[in-house]
Amino acid sequence: RISSDGKPAKFQPPPKPVIIDKQKQREERRFLSPEFIPPRGRTDPLKFYIERKDMIQRRKVINIPEFYVGSILAVTTADPYANDKTNRFVGICIQRGGKGLGATFVLRNVIEDQGVEVCYELYSPRIQAIEVLKLEKRLDDNLMYLRDALPEYSTFDMNMKPVSRLDHEEIPVNKLQVRMKPKPWSKRWERPKYNIKGIKFELPEKKMKEAQKWSQPWLEFDMLREYDTSKIEDKIWKEVSEELKK
C-alpha cells in the first residue's frame, strides 16, 4: 500500500489487546450483608455463631440478594387476607436496621398520592421472594428525609421491570440531590448530626450557619467510639461464603 506521498506507509502495530480478567474482578468485590456483623458489646460470640448458622440456613432456602439503602426492591410475602394469598410491594429501601435474625429493611413508595412505608424482616418465614429491581447506592445511609421531600422522589411504578446490569460492574452511586417540601420537616435535616449529603438545601445561609451550632466536631476523634470491623468482617465473610457454597 502506497500513501499519497508515494512512500510506503509507516508500519502501525495493532493495538494491544486489553485482557479483562472477569474472575479476578468478581472476587475483588465482596459484599457481606450488614446484619452479619455483630454489634459491640459483652455478649458471648457463641450466640452470634448460632444465629449466623440459622441465617445461613434460611439463605439456602430463599435467595436474599445484595442490596443497599437507595435500591428499589420488590418483596412478595404470604398474606392470609389477600385473594391469592400473596402480597407484592415495590419500593425504595430507606433504612436497613437490626442485627442477626431480627434484621429489617423499610421500603417506601407513594401509592395514589399516599406515602406508604413497610418494614419487612429479612429472615421472616412469610417472605417468599425478594427481587432487586434496581441496584444502586445513594449518598446517605438513611433516606428518612424522603418523607419530607417532594413526592416525586418516592414514587415508583408497581409494575417496574428489573433494570439489567452486568455482574462485574461497580455499584452505581446515585448523586441525586433531592428537593424538599417547605419547612416544617419531621426532623431538622439541615443539622450536622444527620450528616445528609443528598438534599439540595434551599434555606437561607443564615439558617444553615445556625444549624452548624449543633455540630460536634470532636465526635470523629473519639477513640472510645471506634469499632474496627475489618478483621471481623473478613472472618465472617469467609465463614458465610464457605457455608453457602455447600
Partner 1 sequence: MMPIWTKSGKKHAVTLLKVQDCHVLRYVSKEESGGKTSKLLVGGKNVSPFYKSESAMEIFKEAGVPRKQKVTTFNVTDDAIIKPGTPLYAAHFRPGQFVDVTAKTIGKGFQGVMKRWGFKGQPASHGQTKTHRRPGAISTNKAAKVYRGKKMPGKMGNIYRTTFGLKVWRINTKHDIIYVNGSVPGHTNCLVKVKDSKLPTYKDYNKNPPFPTFFADGDEKLPEDLYDEEIFQFMDPSVTYA
Cβ of residue 30: shortest distance to partner 1, in angstroms? 24
Give the interface segment with partner 1, choosing from 19-27, 121-129, 150-158, 185-193 (CB under 8 A).
Answer: 121-129
Q: Is 80 in the site for partner 1 (CB under 8 A)?
A: yes
Residue (110 or 240) nearer to partner 1, CB: 240
Q: Which of 235, 191, 246, 187 is nearest to 30 (CA)?
A: 235
Task: Please give the angle made by the CA atoms of 123, 125 and 129, to the nearest 5 degrees.
Answer: 80
Residue (123 or 153) nearer to partner 1, CB: 123
Contacts of 117 (CB under 8 A, 6+ apart): 91, 94, 106, 107, 108
Q: Is 240 in the site for partner 1 (CB under 8 A)?
A: no
In this chain, which of 33, 95, 128, 155 binds partner 1, going by CB under 8 A? 128
174, 138 in Cβ contact below 8 A?
Answer: yes
Q: Is 87 in the site for partner 1 (CB under 8 A)?
A: no
Q: Is 50 in the site for partner 1 (CB under 8 A)?
A: yes
Residue recorded with cell 424522603: 146
Q: What are phi and psi of 162, to 5 degrees?
A: -65, 135
In this chain, which of 92, 100, 134, 199 binds partner 1, going by CB under 8 A? 100
Alpha-carbon torsion (230, 120, 142, 63), positive or negative: positive
Question: Which residues here bind partner 1, judged by CB under 8 A?
Answer: 41-44, 46-47, 50-51, 54, 57-58, 61-62, 78-80, 85, 100-102, 121, 123-128
